[in-house]
Amino acid sequence: MPDLLEAVEDGVAILTLNRPESLNALSAEIRLGLLEAIHRLGADPSVGCIVLTGAGRGFCAGGDVKSMGERSARVFEERAAGIRQSNRIPMLMHDTPKVIIGMINGVAVGAGLSMALACDLRVAARSAKFGTGFIKIGLSGDWGGTWSLTRLIGTAKARELYFTGDMISADEALSFGLVNRVADDAELLETTLVLARRIAAMPRVALGYTKRNLFAAETGDFASVLELEALHQARCSQTEDHREAVQAFKEKRRPMFHGR
């Protein structure tokens, strides 16, 4: 079986990390597969939303600790180049015009937590656990986790979680704003798919530009975001979906969007 599974239905693509015996610790196949799949699905007009999840009882345990000794023996420049290659994945997750939902079915730790944080939205199983994990194995963190966690939950709590490596529950993660929703384990898939299908049914060009606006708002000044909004709003106003929405409003009916 491949380390990364893919299924598409009702405009929703589901990518499943498939190494359940190791809590879906990241393999080279998963890394390369995510780069290829997210790039391809981001350009696929039939896909309106991407769901990222894990097989078995884990979302992702991060890097494969068993192979870390071998990797740390490499020269510094080679090791840094390898980390930069992996860091392309969270950057691609930010840059793709498709909304990505993390369906956190179990433990998300280390780079697995960073991957969850790079998703646009997160729905967690009640049994899920979250932790930075890096400090416990003498590492400082990658995949943009320090950036994402600080912006999601604030400086003080992000520092506490990185300095201590403590694990937190799904309910704690919800109270901190780390996840958007928590569902009972048996209802996680349906809860996530209801949200994913709802997003996939939205005007897809507008979704992509809205995501760009929100990403820019995390770091840009007010004036630059206003300028970006002007350009993106003008672009969206020229789409068939916008014209359909206006016509449907006049006719008091539900609009039918086609992603154009």
- Distance separating alpha carbons of residues 49 and 161, to the nearest angstrom: 30
pLDDT of residue 208: 96
| Residue whose C-alpha is closest to residue 111's, from 142, 87, 150 | 142
Residues with Cβ within 8 Å of 50's Cβ and at least 6 positions away in sequence, in order, are 12, 13, 14, 15, 38, 41, 96, 98, 99, 100, 101
pLDDT tens-digit readout, 154-194: 999 999 999 999 999 999 999 999 999 999 999 999 999 99
CATH of the structural domain 4-200, one choice from 3.40.50.620, 3.90.226.10, 3.40.50.300, 3.30.930.10: 3.90.226.10
Q: Please say whether the beta carbons of 3 and 20 come within 8 A.
A: no
Question: What does the buried/exposed string (b/e) look like for 179-190 if buried means 16 or more CB atoms within 10 Å of the residue's CB?
Answer: bbebbeeeebbe
Residue 141, sorted as left (phi over 0), alpha (psi -120 to 50) or beta, turns out to be left
For 184-199, the pLDDT digits (tens) are 999 999 999 999 999 9
Residue 68 has pLDDT above 80, yes or no: no
- pLDDT of res. 70: 61
Q: Is the dihedral of CA 189, 195, 201, 203 positive or negative?
A: negative
- The answer as to CATH 1.10.1660 being correct for domain 204-250 is no
CB atoms within 10 A of CB 54: 27
- Average pLDDT estimate for 204-228: 95
CA dihedral 6, 10, 12, 17 (to 10 degrees): -30
Partners of 52 in beta bridges? 15, 102
Per domain, the residue ranges of the chain are 4-200, 204-250
Work out the pLDDT band at 79, boundaries 50, 70, 90: confident
pLDDT band (50, 70, 90) for residue 65: confident
Helix, strand, coil % over all residues of the chain, rounded to 5:
55, 20, 30
Question: Two tokens at 71?
Answer: 């990797």
Average the pLDDT over 107-121 and give the result: 97
Query: CATH topology of 4-200 equal to that of 204-250?
Result: no
